[in-house]
Chain A
Amino acid sequence: MYDFNVIPQTLNQNPGALVTFDKHFGIPLLSQFHVNFGSSGVSAYDIFRDDGVDINIKIGNAINAMSHRDYFTLNQQLDIINGGWRKDETTYFSYGMYEEVDMISYFPKDVAVLLWEGNANHIGRSFSLNDVSFKAELLSVFHFGINKQINKKFTLGARAKIYSSIANVNSVNNSGTFTTRESTTGDNVYEHVFQALDGRVQTSGIAPLIGDENSDFSKDIKTLRKRILFGGNLGLGIDVGFTYQLKEQHIITGSLLDFGAIFHSKDVETYHLNGSYTTEGLELIFPPLLNAEGTTPYWQNLEDEFDENIKIDTLKNNYVTWRSSKVNLSYRYNFGKGNGQDCDCYAGQKPYQNALGLQLFSVFRPRRPQFAATAFYYRRLFDFLKLKATYTVDAFSLRNFGLGASLHIGRFNMYLMGNNLFELQNISKAQSVSLQFGINLIFDSND
């Protein structure tokens, strides 16, 4: 999608993209649907392959094969409104509103091993809470962008965004360990050590929905509807981007997207786990003078001690979440002018039929940025049909081939793009899938 300038939604990826039309209006709810799923460590095929092997063995293998650096991501966007118009020869405004789901969870390896296998085969091993790291957000975004052609070679753009977070949950920067090891005091067989636990789950917009025991579902829907329209936790963000023509056929572009934050203050609830505790079990001391029952509340004492030392607090603190900012960079080389009569109105000349290029994409994630590099070939087959073939290398796959097509019939534009085409033959093998499509009306004064 990035740098596919004939599609208006390219402006969402780079507000400083070249705009080759005078006005566009996306068909409401249909102008862009985008979904991207990725799993760096495992595919559905690895687990559900019909090979006669017990699924529990396959799950166990997958848990062991993955590391805490593996992750699962889901990003989905749906344009509700998208449009734009040219103010003058060098200025193009665009606006819109879209809904977005953004989720990432690192694979909580230690917790998974502990729950799947138990501690019996891992005496002496420290299970780390640090492996738990995830964030998920459902939000709506209102945006307005300005695209300004500074001179023949240089175009700049910026887009202001207001985020309205409908629901958020996140848990990052957790620490602490749980260890079962042979007793160091010799009092019992094992000691169980909860060492400096410090874990936090922040939520906003979720507590009131689950708190009312879902007695009135329609009320929940009303609440959600309100939040879509500025009623949620609000945030601000910005996109910036540029296009620069180095030489006639050489073009570089870049953009920084979703540099911004959301300020959570409504319906917030944070759960904070913290403390340290070591136990070797119950010590029975056989008190010399027994009362009638002969009982010391050993169990109660253990529970009380545990509760005093390991606390789970529910807090109502406000908090801030940063959006997952994205960076795009591209270089493209245009070549081969056709014989057609049409013109590339930006350059005031016949458009190039082909382009070859490279794109780099990076998104900031809780632990470390996630990268993708894409080589592409763009072909203007006809005035009404433009194709883009891509080859992408990222954490999910080294052989990810994609294809995009943009169809232009009169003012009607329809596009469809997919990634990982080879895996689409058996989607369960794919560790990432990306799909987007949309329908627009595009107006050009030359029409």
Chain B
Amino acid sequence: MKRFKKVVFGLICLMLIFLNSCVSDVDFDQTENILPTPVFESSLMYSNLEAPNFIDEATQQEVIILTDTTRLEYINSDFFVDQLIKTNLNFQFANSLDRHFSIDFEFVNDADELRYLAEIEVPPGQPNAPSVVVSNFLIEEPELSVFEEATKLIFKITLPPSTNPIDTNTLGRLELDSKVTFYFEL
């Protein structure tokens, strides 16, 4: 009987181990605080413009304004509107044309209403010594919500009056590289 008691005692201990199995020192409510904050970088757009791009074919004169437009479908998507907390636009110009340029990046909605404007002045450069301009535009609330209504980007190059206009033989080019950084909270 002594042995039997030992066994019963052992069994009770075993039961206690199983029954006692529990979860302690942890806080599952922390789940509510889980907040991935990935940061994505993406090339945006680029262009390489040389003298002939700035000449009006009809008049063979320098143009005053040069524009091109692209749609940007994702900015006003639900995902961006809900999850994007800030964004940074980075534009890098290298100008080896001996000409000053005023650049406007106009972010507009479908009704062509301006939602965000980034302005950059690019001073003249030389074929072997381009002028380099790197500009960053950090967009946060409250600007961000308005920015997110944009569906199109107009890249507008204005050539202010000059005594030394570009002709077809002018050497050099205006190069744009750009990238965008998206800061999400998912």
A49 and B45 form a contact (CB under 8 A) = no
Q: State whether A190 and B73 are in contact (beta carbons under 8 Å apart), knowing that A120-B181, A424-B18, A428-B23 are contacts in the complex.
A: no
Question: Total interface residues on B, using CB and 8 Å?
Answer: 55
Q: State whether A118 and B26 are in contact (beta carbons under 8 Å apart), knowing that A284-B47, A288-B53, A295-B69 are contacts in the complex.
A: no
Chain A residues lying within 8 Å of B37, measured Cβ to Cβ, are 56
B155 and A284 form a contact (CB under 8 A) = yes
Chain B residues lying within 8 Å of A297, measured Cβ to Cβ, are 71
Chain B residues lying within 8 Å of A283, measured Cβ to Cβ, are 45-47
A180 and B41 form a contact (CB under 8 A) = yes
Interface flag for A385 (CB, 8 Å): yes
Binary CB contact string for chain A from 282 to 300 against chain B (1 if under 8 A, 0 otherwise): 1111111110011111111
A192 and B43 form a contact (CB under 8 A) = yes
Q: State whether A426 and B68 are in contact (beta carbons under 8 Å apart), knowing that A55-B33, A55-B34 are contacts in the complex.
A: no
B184 and A118 form a contact (CB under 8 A) = yes
Q: State whether A190 and B34 are in contact (beta carbons under 8 Å apart), knowing that A49-B25, A424-B18 are contacts in the complex.
A: no
B35 and A190 form a contact (CB under 8 A) = no
B39 and A424 form a contact (CB under 8 A) = no
Interface flag for A16 (CB, 8 Å): no
Interface flag for B64 (CB, 8 Å): no
A189 and B177 form a contact (CB under 8 A) = yes
A294 and B27 form a contact (CB under 8 A) = no
Number of A-B pairs whose CB atoms are under 8 Å? 166
Binary CB contact string for chain B from 165 to 186 against chain A (1 if under 8 A, 0 otherwise): 0000000000011110110100
Q: State whether A289 and B57 are in contact (beta carbons under 8 Å apart), knowing that A116-B36, A294-B67, A298-B71 are contacts in the complex.
A: yes
A120 and B41 form a contact (CB under 8 A) = yes
Bound form: Cα–Cα A374–B70 in Å: 65
Which of chain A's residues has its CB closest to B180's CB? A281
Give residues of chain A (177-232) contacting chain B, Cβ–Cβ below 8 Å: 180, 183, 187-192
A45 and B17 form a contact (CB under 8 A) = no
Interface flag for B139 (CB, 8 Å): no
Bound form: Cα–Cα A114–B58 in Å: 51
Q: State whether A298 and B70 are in contact (beta carbons under 8 Å apart), knowing that A55-B33, A118-B184 are contacts in the complex.
A: yes
Chain B residues lying within 8 Å of A381, measured Cβ to Cβ, are 7
Which of chain A's residues has its CB closest to B155's CB? A284
Bound form: Cα–Cα A295–B44 in Å: 17
Looking at the complex, which one of A118, A281, A296 makes contact with B178 (CB distance below 8 Å)?
A281
Interface flag for A375 (CB, 8 Å): no
A405 and B18 form a contact (CB under 8 A) = no
Looking at the complex, which one of A48, A187, A284 makes contact with B26 (CB distance below 8 Å)?
A48
A45 and B25 form a contact (CB under 8 A) = yes
Bound form: Cα–Cα A205–B35 in Å: 34
Looking at the complex, which one of A114, A189, A293, A300 makes contact with B90 (CB distance below 8 Å)?
A189
| A-B contact list, 16 entries, CB within 8 Å | A44-B26, A45-B26, A123-B41, A187-B177, A188-B45, A190-B43, A192-B42, A279-B43, A282-B45, A285-B68, A293-B69, A403-B17, A424-B21, A425-B17, A427-B23, A428-B24
List the interface of chain B (C-beta within 8 A of A). 4, 7, 11, 14, 17-18, 20-28, 30-31, 33-49, 52-53, 57, 66-73, 90, 92, 155, 176-179, 181-182, 184
10 A-B pairs besides A45-B26, A281-B43, A281-B178 with CB distance below 8 A are A117-B38, A117-B39, A190-B43, A279-B43, A286-B49, A298-B45, A299-B72, A427-B22, A427-B23, A428-B23
